[in-house]
Every structure is written in structure tokens, then in C-alpha cells.
């Protein structure tokens, strides 16, 4: 599998642009825990994830972290090349969360591509819009943080009731219990799953880390 299979708008590039991208991109691999990009200190380039999982987070002066999003196979990491976009004025750290293999597209190569090609520029826009949406979702959760706590409380209560870590319950039913929409429940459960708090399966929710759910509930 080569880069062309992983770069979504490959067919909109000219032959010369494809050649430039193939020539400049390098395939790298990195083990869990590796920090790939550290704030504005470096401008490594874009990462195109071939396998594994990356985590993007911000860091407070006191060393506290907030995960802002995760990157999976086929995802493209823009903020490891934030020097391309001069208006990006925040620092994101990118860390390997599961052993990963990814292409690195040098920042200069991508910048040139973006300046010349409307499809590439618009695609870059799409990536940023998707990340922006994730961050807005996070800010809403944080500001009006009742729902994550309430959901954690609900899962713990149900688990105690059923005397089981695995709940046979649909997202629809959880939503009905909590007086909200199914989409809201599904989204929060997926977030819980990405945080390792639960494991989702067809028709079931398994509490993977009851201690952290309790901490969240108490939060």
C-alpha cells in the first residue's frame, strides 16, 4: 500500500504534484509513547497515519494535559506542521498512543502544494474543520460538564444493579433513561471508549475502568 491509497484527494493532483509528494514523503514508524511533535518548537511536517494511533493534546504550564483528538489509520495530522498556517497560534503535542506507521510530508512540500492547488487547500480546510468540530465538542462538554458525569454515574449505577461490568443496553435506551438524544449518548460513549473507560460492542457496553468512571462522576 502506498501513499496514493492514503491521501484522499490523490486523483485531484497533477502528475507533477503526485511525483513531488511521493518523492518528499518518508515512511516512518514509532513506538508507543514517542513524542512526534512538541508544540511550536518544531514543524516536522504532516503525518498521514498508515497504522496505529496518535494522540494530540495540549499541555498547561503546570504540566496538565487535555486530549483534544486522536488520529487513526488514514487520518492526517495537520498541526504537526502548524508553521504552514501562520494563524495557528496554539501548541499541540502529538504522541504515539499505539505503535504507529505513518508518512511524513515535509511542511515545505505541503505548503507549495497547498498554494498551487485549490483541491489541496480545500482539503486542508476540511481537515481543520473536522478538528475544530472536535474541539468545540470538547469545550461544550467541559463548560456544561453535566453530561459526562451523568453518563458515568448512570453506567456505574446500572453496573451495580446488574452486578456485571457488561451492560446489555442500547444507546437508545440509555438516551431515554437520561432524557437526551441517542446521538449525544453515542458520541459520549465513543469518547469514553477512546479514553479507555468503556468498551463498546453490538448491544453492549463494558465498563473497562470503573475507578476512572468513579473519579469522573465525582470530578
Binding site for a second copy (CB under 8 A): 58, 60-62, 64, 66, 85-90, 114-118, 120-122, 124-133, 135-140, 142-144
Distance in Å, CB of 97 to a second copy, minimum: 20
Provide the 3-class DSSP secondary structure of residue 45: coil
Closer by beta carbon to a second copy, 86 or else 163: 86
Nearer to a second copy, 132 or 204 (CB): 132
Question: What's 151's DSSP letter?
Answer: H
The three grid cell numbers given for residue 31, joined into one nine-digit string: 513506538
Q: How far is the CB of 164 from a second copy (least distance, A)?
A: 31
Q: Where are the beta strands (DSSP E) in the chain?
A: 26-30, 35-38, 46-59, 65-71, 76-77, 93-105, 166-167, 198-201, 204-207
**In this structure, what DSSP letter does residue 171 have?**
H
Least Å distance, CB 151 to a second copy, is 14
Which of residues 44 and 84 has its CB atom nearest to a second copy in the complex?
84
Taking the least distance from each CB to a second copy, the nearer of 35 and 66 is 66
As measured in angstroms, the least distance from the Cβ of 120 to a second copy is 8
Rank residues 156 and 184 by Cβ distance to a second copy and give the closer one: 184
Burial class of residue 3 (count of CB atoms within 10 Å of its CB; 0-12, 13-18, 19+): middle
Element (H, E) at 24: helix 15-24
Q: Given the complex with a second copy, which of 31 and 181 has the nearer CB atom?
A: 181
Min dist CB 57 to a second copy, Å, is 11
Instruction: Give the residue among 58, 198, 213 at the shortest CA–CA distance from 150.
Output: 213
Q: Cell match 498556517: residue?
A: 85
- Least Cβ distance, residue 70 to a second copy (angstroms): 16
Exposure string for 178-208, b = 16+ CB within 10 A, e = fewer: beeeeeebbebbebbebbebbeeeeeebebb
Amino acid at each position: 500500500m502506498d501513499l496514493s491509497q492514503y491521501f484522499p484527494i490523490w486523483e485531484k493532483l497533477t502528475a507533477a504534484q503526485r511525483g513531488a509528494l511521493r518523492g518528499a514523503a518518508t515512511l516512518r514508524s514509532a513506538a508507543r509513547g514517542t513524542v512526534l511533535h512538541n508544540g511550536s518548537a518544531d514543524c516536522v511536517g504532516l503525518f498521514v497515519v498508515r497504522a496505529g494511533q496518535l494522540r494530540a493534546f495540549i499541555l498547561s504550564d503546570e504540566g496538565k494535559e487535555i486530549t483534544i483528538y486522536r488520529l487513526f489509520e488514514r487520518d492526517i495530522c495537520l498541526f504537526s506542521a502548524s508553521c504552514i498556517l501562520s494563524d495557528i497560534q496554539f501548541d499541540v503535542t502529538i504522541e504515539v498512543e499505539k505503535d504507529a506507521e505513518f508518512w511524513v510530508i515535509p511542511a515545505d512540500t505541503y505548503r507549495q502544494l497547498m498554494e498551487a492547488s485549490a483541491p489541496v487547500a480545500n482539503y486542508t480546510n476540511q481537515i481543520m474543520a473536522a478538528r475544530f468540530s472536535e474541539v468545540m465538542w470538547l469545550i461544550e462538554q467541559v463548560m456544561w460538564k453535566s453530561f459526562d458525569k451523568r453518563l458515568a454515574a448512570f453506567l456505574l449505577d446500572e453496573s451495580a444493579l446488574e452486578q456485571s461490568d457488561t451492560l446489555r443496553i442500547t444507546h437508545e435506551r440509555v438516551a431515554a433513561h437520561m432524557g437526551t438524544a441517542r446521538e449525544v449518548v453515542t458520541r459520549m460513549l465513543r469518547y469514553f471508549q477512546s479514553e479507555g473507560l468503556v468498551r463498546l460492542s453490538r448491544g453492549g457496553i463494558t465498563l473497562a475502568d470503573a475507578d476512572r468512571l468513579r473519579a469522573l462522576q465525582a470530578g
